[in-house]
Amino acid sequence: MATAVHRVSIALESHHIPSLQIQRDGDGVLRSSSNDDTTAHRGLYQQLKPADGGIAAWKVLFAAFMFEAILWGFPISFGVFQNYYAKLPEFQDNPHITIVGTMASGIPYLGAPFMAIVVRRHQGYRQYMIWTGWPLCIIALLASSFVSGIGALIVTQGIIYGTGFLIFYYPIISIINEWWIQRRGMAFGVITSAAGVSGIAMPFIIESLLERYGHRITLRAVAVAMTILTGPLIPFTKSRLPPSQASVAIRQGWSFARSPLFFVYSTDNIAQGLGIFFPSLFLPSYAASIGLGSWYGALLLALMSFAQVLGQSIFGLLSDKVELNALLCFFPSRLPL
């Protein structure tokens, strides 16, 4: 029990919250009080639930896992849609089909630095962001089921869906950072492996629906499934810190940007990012081009997703216990070729 209080105290002190005192009362809830002039003037008396465990923390992590698995699992399975679209007379031989999947998966990455700044400066509006981005994803799929032409698909299934996911996802990542501190690597390993879990089954489900009902009914069915499976989980994404404390907690200097190691890791990350989506986008099309059935393309995506689950979950667990440089030495495959 004392260890838990000590861990939270270290985590919060590292965020430079002034004169913060933390104690655990009889019901196991962490209570904090601040001697800061403004806080004292307002008579603020905060209740902080335990980080790195407890029902509330696991509920947030479970919700984030489901969001990642379903809402992010869909665009990274776009290769199945791409293979199907290429066979339709209205899209056949159209060189711009790949742009749909590129927009849906690329916008969340390209917009991440900007969305991170917005979330950091407007902590109190994270729930509004979540409730704005989530319906955008649903609306994008419904709209794409009614349109004709590749340009309209790029806008709906690509741009609108990607933008909705961008607005929806990064406030949740910010909330996860509040609930998981000492075990943050494990938490993000679980979250990032979620898309792999869904990727094992989702390509087969989408392939089956496309063959039986066509892309319009499939897109509507996916939109309904997303609504049912993820909508009830949004209330779980509650902040651990009040907005005032949360905004203080993320303040940090930029001294890390002067570290050579930072540039090494950034270069590695960029190099990996340049090629990470090629397999998921083109494996189904490649399988079809060499005469294999569409189910083989889905199988290749499923096998890749299975490897993703193992890799990301294991690395997440190890990152809480093993120094990062040691991990890179033992797993050189993580380095860009």
For 168-306, where are the E strands, in sequence order?
none
The pLDDT of residue 109 is: 87
- Condensed to tens digits (0 to 9), the pLDDT of residues 2-58 reads 333 333 333 433 444 444 444 444 333 444 444 444 443 343 334 778 888 889 999
Cα(271)–Cα(269) distance, integer angstroms: 6
- For 251: left if phi > 0, alpha if psi spans -120 to 50, otherwise beta; the answer is beta
pLDDT at 61 over 70: yes
- How far CA 163 is from CA of 5, 80, 158, in Å, comes to 39, 21, 9
The pLDDT of residue 44 is: 38
- Condensed to tens digits (0 to 9), the pLDDT of residues 95-148 reads 888 899 889 988 998 899 899 889 988 888 999 999 999 999 999 999 999 998
As given in the structure block, the two tokens for residue 23 are 């104690």
The pLDDT of residue 281 is: 65
Terminal alpha carbon distance of the chain: 46
- How far CA 76 is from CA of 63, 106, 134, in Å, comes to 19, 10, 17
Cα(233)–Cα(239) distance, integer angstroms: 14
- Cβ atoms of 134 and 168 within 8 Å: the answer is yes
- Condensed to tens digits (0 to 9), the pLDDT of residues 305-321 reads 777 777 666 766 666 67
C-alpha dihedral, 156 to 199 to 225 to 216, nearest 10°: 40
Percent of the chain with pLDDT over 90: 31
The pLDDT of residue 265 is: 77
Give pTM, 2 decimals: 0.73
- Cβ atoms of 204 and 156 within 8 Å: the answer is no
C-alpha dihedral, 181 to 184 to 187 to 188, nearest 10°: 140
Cα(223)–Cα(143) distance, integer angstroms: 10
Cα(259)–Cα(247) distance, integer angstroms: 25
pLDDT at 303 over 80: no
Match 């290749």 to its residue by tokens. 300
The pLDDT of residue 80 is: 85
Match 């490649």 to its residue by tokens. 286
For residues 236-246, average pLDDT: 77
- How far CA 131 is from CA of 16, 61, 108, 138, 139, in Å, comes to 30, 18, 17, 11, 13
Cα(210)–Cα(310) distance, integer angstroms: 29
Range of lowest pLDDT (60-64, 122-126, 231-235): 122-126
pLDDT band at 91 (very low <50, low <70, confident <90, very high): confident
